[in-house]
């Protein structure tokens, strides 16, 4: 058994970590939070220069031709610093959707540009405050024209292309298809949304007969998008574990330096147990994430269960660590000035971004049931 990343993967992790600690400190996160900047373009450019946007894109399409595991280590480091960049939208979602469902022509057209960071991609699923599903998705694709409103779309304002979940009129789960649309064409309006985490921009995209192409077979959209989400769930779990660890260490450091009643607050069991619980949750999440990574990399038979387990435990770990980090800080933790807020916001954003816990528990148990019956 060798349930660990390789030395090369660890070196990549080291390299990304070094770049981000130099270039993506809290000052950068705060700058994006407090300004009109939609993302940290400087950090994004650096990631592109390192070739990371092409990590898992085959060499024939201009990528580095590495696998899922390399993206895991990158994700963890991005999460650790709460990086305000469109990496997840462009790489985990748009790129993977095209790799999975795109025609040869579509791959030729978009993957090299995505790899080179010349364009940013995103995945547009939701239409407001209901979970996207064959029953709620109404945006339509008829005769190459896309109509409807998608929101919230991650990085919708800065993205150049979007993979869009559309309703093509089939029955039941076959109602949905994927379409690909270039966002600088006509018949598209974009509006930035106010969200709980302005360090990761989200927009409403209104399509009014915008030119779009079907991607993948008609009626396969729901199946395809869920497969894309399974993969993204694993990478996001690493991002969540990275963020959770930062929140935990922030709380731990403060527990050592803050005194109450003449003692370090870290000497009180209420605080010790809180920190120990963070650690336990994070380690469980990390282990589940490793298994998810293995399944994803090997296209293993238990990918759905593994992805859901990684996602659920990483969500729980990050939410808990971020919220109890604030609690450990007391009043100062609840201020705008404190950096605790970055992780509170991001933890909840990531908890919702690929569908809430309710979606993932359902997906997990449905799968377990099927396995049990087989």
**Structure tokens, 137:** 């998705």
* Cβ proximity to another protein, 66 vs 278, nearer residue: 278
Using CB under 8 A, pick the residue from 270, 299, 372, 373 that binds another protein: 270
**Residue of 2, 129, 299, 372 that binds another protein (CB under 8 A):** 129
What long-range pairs does 194-199 form, CB within 8 A, spacing at least 24?
195/152, 195/349, 196/345, 196/348, 196/349, 197/345, 197/346, 197/348, 197/349, 198/32, 198/33, 199/29, 199/32, 199/33, 199/82, 199/84, 199/342, 199/345, 199/346
26 or 259: CB nearest another protein:
259
Q: Is 228 exposed, middle or buried (0-12, 13-18, 19+ CB in 10 A)?
A: buried
Cα-based angle 214, 216, 218 (whole degrees, multiple of 5): 70
Give the shortest CB-165-to-another protein separation in angstroms.
12
Distance CA(247)–CA(341), nearest Å, equals 10
264 binds another protein (CB under 8 A): yes
Q: In Å, what is the CA distance from 212 to each residue of 19, 157, 208?
A: 37, 18, 11
What residues form DSSP beta bridges with 144? none
The answer to the question of residue 246 lying near another protein (CB under 8 A) is: no
Please give the residues from 326 up to 365 whose contact with another protein meets the rule CB under 8 A: 326-327, 330-331, 333-338, 340-341, 344, 348-349, 351-359, 361-362
Dist CA 86 CA 92 (whole Å): 10
Judged by beta carbon, residue 281 or residue 348, the one nearer another protein is: 348
Asked if 268 is part of the footprint of another protein (rule: CB under 8 A), the reply reads yes
Give first-to-last CA distance, the chain, whole Å.
Answer: 28
**Interaction partner, residue 286 (ligand FAD, another protein, none; CB < 5-8 Å by kind):** none
Judged by beta carbon distances under 5 to 8 A according to partner kind, the member of another protein, ligand FAD, none in contact with residue 1 is none
Q: Which residue from 136, 140, 147, 149 is in contact with another protein, where contact means CB under 8 A?
A: 136
Count residues near another protein (CB under 8 A).
57
Exposed/middle/buried for residue 226 (C-beta within 10 Å: 0-12, 13-18, 19+): middle
Query: Is residue 319 involved in binding another protein (CB under 8 A)?
Result: yes
Q: Which residues bind ligand FAD (CB under 6 A)?
A: 258, 260-261, 265, 268, 270-271, 327-328, 330-331, 334
Comparing CB distances to another protein, the nearer of 143 and 331 is 331
Residues near another protein (CB under 8 A) are: 125-126, 128-133, 135-136, 151-152, 193-197, 202, 257-264, 268, 270-271, 319, 323, 326-327, 330-331, 333-338, 340-341, 344, 348-349, 351-359, 361-362
């Amino acid at each position: 058994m060798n349930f660990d990343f390789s030395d090369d993967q660890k070196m990549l992790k080291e390299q990304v970590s070094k770049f981000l600690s130099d270039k993506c400190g809290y000052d950068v996160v705060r700058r994006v939070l407090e300004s009109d900047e939609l993302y940290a373009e400087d950090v994004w450019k650096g990631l592109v220069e390192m070739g990371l946007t092409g990590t898992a894109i085959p060499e024939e399409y201009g990528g580095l031709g590495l696998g899922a595991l390399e993206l895991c280590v990158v994700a963890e480091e991005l999460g650790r610093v709460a990086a305000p960049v469109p990496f997840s939208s462009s790489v985990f979602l748009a790129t993977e959707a095209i790799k999975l469902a795109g025609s040869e022509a579509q791959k030729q057209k978009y993957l090299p540009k995505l790899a080179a960071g010349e364009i940013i991609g995103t995945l547009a699923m939701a239409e407001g405050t209901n979970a996207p599903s064959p029953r709620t998705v109404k945006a339509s694709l008829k005769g190459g024209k896309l109509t409807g409103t998608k929101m919230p779309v991650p990085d919708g304002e800065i993205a150049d292309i979007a993979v869009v979940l559309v309703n093509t009129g089939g029955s039941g789960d076959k109602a949905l298809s994927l379409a690909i649309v270039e966002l600088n064409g006509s018949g598209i309006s974009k509006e930035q949304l106010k969200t709980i985490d302005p360090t990761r921009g989200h927009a409403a995209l209104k399509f009014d007969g915008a030119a779009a192409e079907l991607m993948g077979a008609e009626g396969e959209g729901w199946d395809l998008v869920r497969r894309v989400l399974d993969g993204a769930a694993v990478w996001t779990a690493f991002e969540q574990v990275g963020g959770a660890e930062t929140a935990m260490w922030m709380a731990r450091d403060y527990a050592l330096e803050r005194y109450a009643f003449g003692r370090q607050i870290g000497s009180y069991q209420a605080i010790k147990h809180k920190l120990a619980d963070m650690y336990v949750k994070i380690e469980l999440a990390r282990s589940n994430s490793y298994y998810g990574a293995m399944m994803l990399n090997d296209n293993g038979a238990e990918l759905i269960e593994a992805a859901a387990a990684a996602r659920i435990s990483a969500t729980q770990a990050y939410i808990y660590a971020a919220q109890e980090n604030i609690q450990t800080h007391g009043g100062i933790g609840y201020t705008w000035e404190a950096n605790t807020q970055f992780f509170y916001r991001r933890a909840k954003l990531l908890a919702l971004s690929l569908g809430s816990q309710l979606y993932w528990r359902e997906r997990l148990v449905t799968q377990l049931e099927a396995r049990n019956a087989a």
